[in-house]
Structure 1
């Protein structure tokens, strides 16, 4: 499992170094007004690599998807360090919560989802992380931003 479980509330924590978090923020802001997307490589619940990607969806204003060539590159790179993938994307006009379509895709992939919301622009986007099981049940975790020395 990519995230550390917190036994007190059955939730989980994903630790993201601040430099990666800032790169993700810049990527989703640059993607506006469309959805932006990318991936993170993680080891033991801590993000070790950021993979910003182009949104390859047919309608990028309404959905996000990573291209097949990008996903193959990301999988191969993550496999090289035996990590796990976390998918992230933005919701330009709605809250940072999995949509029906997000839940459908996540049920098949099993990835954790970090979702950024830009609904309060020009305020900075905010992010939340979710686990979505095979039945479509959503559990929210916690993002811990790690200062970089």
Structure 2
């Protein structure tokens, strides 16, 4: 894994709080959702249901939700970021996460709840088509 100092995702504190509430509500299963971003700054949160067959160790957004989210993000010419939680493991892409991300090309924000009931923490990753994992930085901010 390589840290890339130019890779930063800016998230408003209020949206980050929504994301944390969503992954906590899904515990002890994996929770998932998407974010809409413009030029690396998150502008909208799309919390979704996890429709994976085994939600205790994987997450999938339904096809209907993906279409709805893509259509909305297209309306403001944004990019999608996928987020999900790992209820008992580190906030790091699993082998399955890497395989899915290689195909999708999305940035991945992963929350770890391994120290629950302590608050979860999040990390962001870019995964190349070859499966190389690069960690970026999450920068929280208060919009003025």
TM-score, scaled relative to structure 1: 0.93
Q: Which residue of 1 aligns with 2:47?
A: 52
- 8 Å CA contact retained: 2:35, 2:44: yes
Contact 1:55 1:67 in 2 (8 A): yes
Aligned length, in residue pairs? 142
Paired position in structure 2 for 1:130: 125
Q: Structure 1: 5+ residue runs without aligned partners? A: 1-7
Q: Residue 100 of structure 1 aligns with which residue?
A: 95
Task: Measure, in 2, the Cα distance between the counterparts of 1:47 and 1:118.
Answer: 22
TM-score, length of structure 2 as denominator length: 0.96
Tell me which residue corresponds to 1:3. none
SS at match of 1:61: coil
> Comparing both chains, which one has the higher relative contact order based on Cα–Cα distances under 8 Å and sequence gaps of 6 or more?
2
Runs of 4+ in structure 1 displaced over 2 angstroms?
8-11
**3-state SS of 2:103 partner:** helix
Aligned residue for 1:15, secondary structure, equals: strand
Q: CA deviation at 1:11?
A: 4.3
- CA-CA distance at 1:148 after TM superposition: 3.6
